[in-house]
């Protein structure tokens, strides 16, 4: 209930990051039209991970029509899994269509965000200072490239770069290309470069389970039908084929002895057994851990591509990088002209190294010294009016993060509504609620498939999976409406 002695407040809202989640928050706030909004973006254009990543073969492994805002369907996707440049254009189009470009300050990396005198005081790398009532952190997790610490890397004589810093001036056709890493990026690169390069060498510490996923192009007739009847799009993103797979996957994650988990294992095993003809290569590609322990890789053609005579799969530890190529621990030297580092991101950093200090000098670095956490991936005790989208402990898996972001935004919108209505001037999850949540989450996370014996970027410093350990439906239920008694509300 609002305070009758207070008029509705107009709030100044600062959004940090102009990727998928920051654009979402800015659009929704602009549609409300009640608050001042400013978006700080560290780069020179919007787009987040789709701006950072431009490597050959980049696509989203979520069906394109499920990886769109619920309020902005796109009938023009060229294929079932959208390529990266199309996704980047989609977000650029949304910024233009909803008129939020004027809210975005490009090239302004937020260096500090400090709670003082009832407001958040922001300072950017260019010395811009601002004070806002509410902060929305939408930095995402895949924006700090993880450069591998490999002896001799600097000695390599050819071109080398992280895949999120792809150098498009380097010619690829007819070259020998080494790819280190076999997450989604490494797998997509192999498929894209085989046949262009004279040789592709895919170097990996351990192989991945591969889930087959079709990626058929949409025809002109199909796109015309999508334009004419948006319900056809809804049948893809809300239909049984996709939603059942989302539920199967989340049920499998939380109970690794469940029927859905065994079904997933049977599919990926059949994919390997049926599609890799050479028994030696098949065993080389067989992981020594359970399916989905690492983030499951989706590909329509990886097993087909790695059987080409111009593709080598190398599984094992790297000893060092030499001027001519990659020396493995078994002594073999793989000579390459170009080295692509598909080694992922420092996902545990989130918005760091930004300095974030809350009430009573609460410090984010100290709070997250062992593991990053947030209530529902959204709120922290001692950090009033400070809300995250896709923050730590939220669902991260093989389904649409846009869906997760929209659910979190709906929840945040209600918290902001309490501030606007005068119900309180400060709101953050209570320490007791956070403690109970973390204890339950950690206990549940230790029972998930992610904790069954593999290394992955899901694990924190204590080896505990940092993602949501319950079902998709449970997350939807928890984020439907805040339970305000779980929050500290300061008048």
Final residue in a domain of this structure, among 295, 318, 341:
341
Residues 455 and 370 in one domain: yes
Residues 194 and 91 grouped into a single domain: no
Dihedral Cα 229, 231, 232, 234, nearest 10 deg: 150
Whether 465 and 358 share a structural domain: yes
Shared domain for 221 and 292, answered yes or no, is yes
| Burial (0-12, 13-18, 19+ Cβ within 10 Å), 323 | exposed
Is there a domain that residue 16 lies in?
yes
- 332 and 367 co-located in one domain: no
350 & 336 share domain: no
464 and 447, same domain (yes or no): yes
Model confidence pTM above 0.85: yes
Q: Domain for residue 257, yes or no?
A: yes
Beta bridge partners of 356: 113
Rounded CA-CA distance 183/298 in Å is 10
Q: Using CA atoms, how far apart are residues 41 and 105, in angstroms rounded to an integer?
A: 6
Contact between 105 and 132 under an 8 Å Cβ cutoff? The reply is no
Query: What total of structural domains would you count in the chain?
Result: 2
Question: DSSP labels for 233-262?
Answer: HHHHHSSHHHHHHHHHHHHHHH-TTSHHHH
Cis peptide before 425 (omega within 30 of 0): no
Q: Is 6 inside a domain boundary?
A: no
Q: Of 476, 410, 67, 24, nearest to 237 (Cα)? A: 67
User: Rounded CA gap, 189 and 182, in Å?
Assistant: 9
| Same domain? 160 vs 211 | yes
Inside any domain, residue 5: no
Alpha carbon distance 202, 218 (integer Å):
30
Q: E-assigned strands of 373-447?
A: 386-388, 426-429
Domain boundary among 341, 356, 383: 341
Helix 240-254 vs helix 259-275: crossing angle, to nearest 10: 110
- Within this chain, do residues 359 and 273 fall inside the same structural domain, yes or no? no
Is 214 domain-assigned?
Answer: yes
In a domain, 3, yes or no: no
The beta strand positions in 415-459, using DSSP E, are 426-429
- pLDDT value at position 422? 94
- Which of 284, 319, 341 is where one domain is finished? 341
Query: In this structure, are 191 and 160 located in the same domain?
Result: yes
The answer to whether residue 1 is domain-embedded is no
Residues 350 and 335 both lie in one domain? no
Residues in the chain, total: 491
Residue 395, in any domain of the structure: yes
Same-domain check for residues 174 and 128: no
**Per-residue pLDDT tens listing for the chain (491 residues):** 445 555 688 999 999 999 999 999 999 999 999 999 999 999 999 999 999 999 999 999 999 999 999 999 999 999 999 999 999 999 999 999 999 999 999 999 999 999 999 999 999 999 999 999 999 999 998 889 999 999 999 999 999 999 999 999 999 999 999 999 999 999 999 999 999 999 999 999 999 999 999 999 999 999 999 999 999 999 999 998 888 888 899 899 999 999 999 999 999 999 999 999 999 999 999 999 999 999 999 999 999 999 999 999 999 999 999 999 999 999 999 999 999 999 999 988 899 999 999 999 899 999 999 899 999 999 999 999 999 999 999 997 757 899 999 999 999 999 999 999 999 999 999 999 999 999 999 999 999 999 999 988 889 888 999 989 999 999 999 999 999 999 999 99
Nearest alpha-carbon partner for 295 in 171, 186, 408, 192: 186
**Helices 84-97, 20-32: crossing angle, 10 deg rounding:** 20
Which structural domain, as residue segments, surrounds residue 52?
Answer: 12-144+346-490
Domain at 130, CATH number:
3.50.50.60
**What is the per-residue DSSP string for 113-153?**
EEEETTEEEEEETT--EEEESEEEE---SS-SB-----TTG
Measured in whole angstroms, the distance separating CA 34 from the mean position of its chain's CA atoms is 30
């Amino acid at each position: 209930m609002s305070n009758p002695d207070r008029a509705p407040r107009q709030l100044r809202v600062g959004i940090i990051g102009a990727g998928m989640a920051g654009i979402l928050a800015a659009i929704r706030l602009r549609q409300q039209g009640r608050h001042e909004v400013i978006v700080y973006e560290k780069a020179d254009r919007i787009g987040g991970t789709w701006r950072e990543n431009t490597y050959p073969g980049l696509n989203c492994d979520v069906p394109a029509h499920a990886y769109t805002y619920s309020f902005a369907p796109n009938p023009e996707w060229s294929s079932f899994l959208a390529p990266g440049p199309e996704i980047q254009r989609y977000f650029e189009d949304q910024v233009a269509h909803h008129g939020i470009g004027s809210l975005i300050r490009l090239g302004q990396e937020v260096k500090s965000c400090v709670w003082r005198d009832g407001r958040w005081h922001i300072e950017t790398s260019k010395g811009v200072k601002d004070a806002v009532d509410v902060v929305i952190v939408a930095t995402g997790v895949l924006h700090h490239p993880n450069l591998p610490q490999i002896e001799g890397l600097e000695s390599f004589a050819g071109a080398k770069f992280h895949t999120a810093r792809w150098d498009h001036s380097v010619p690829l056709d007819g070259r020998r290309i080494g790819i280190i890493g076999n997450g989604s990026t490494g797998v997509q690169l192999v498929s894209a470069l085989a046949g262009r390069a004279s040789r592709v060498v895919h170097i990996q510490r351990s192989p991945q389970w591969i889930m087959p996923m079709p990626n058929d192009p949409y025809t002109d007739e199909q796109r015309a039908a999508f334009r004419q009847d948006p319900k056809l799009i809804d049948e893809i993103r809300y239909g049984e084929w996709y939603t059942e797979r989302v539920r199967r996957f989340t049920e499998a994650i939380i109970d690794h002895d469940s029927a859905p988990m065994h079904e997933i294992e049977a599919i990926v095993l059949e994919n390997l057994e049926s599609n890799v003809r050479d028994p030696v290569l098949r065993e080389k590609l067989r992981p020594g851990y359970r399916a989905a322990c690492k983030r499951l890789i989706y590909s329509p053609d990886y097993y087909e591509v790695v059987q080409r005579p111009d593709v080598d799969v190398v599984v094992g530890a790297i000893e060092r990088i030499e001027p001519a190529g990659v020396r493995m621990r078994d002594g073999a030297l793989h000579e390459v002209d170009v080295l692509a580092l598909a080694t992922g991101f420092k996902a545990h950093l989130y918005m760091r190294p930004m300095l974030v200090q809350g009430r009573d000098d609460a410090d984010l670095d100290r709070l997250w010294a062992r593991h990053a956490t947030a209530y529902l991936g959204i709120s922290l005790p001692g950090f009033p009016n400070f809300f995250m989208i896709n923050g730590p402990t939220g669902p991260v898996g093989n389904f649409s993060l846009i869906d997760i972001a929209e659910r979190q935004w709906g929840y945040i919108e209600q918290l902001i509504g309490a501030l606007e209505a005068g119900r309180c001037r400060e709101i953050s999850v209570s320490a007791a609620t956070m403690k109970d949540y973390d204890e339950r989450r950690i206990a549940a996370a230790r029972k998930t498939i992610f904790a069954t014996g593999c290394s992955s970027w899901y694990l924190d410093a204590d080896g505990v999976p940092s993602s949501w350990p319950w079902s998709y439906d449970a997350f939807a239920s928890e984020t439907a409406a805040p339970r305000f008694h779980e929050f500290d509300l300061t008048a």
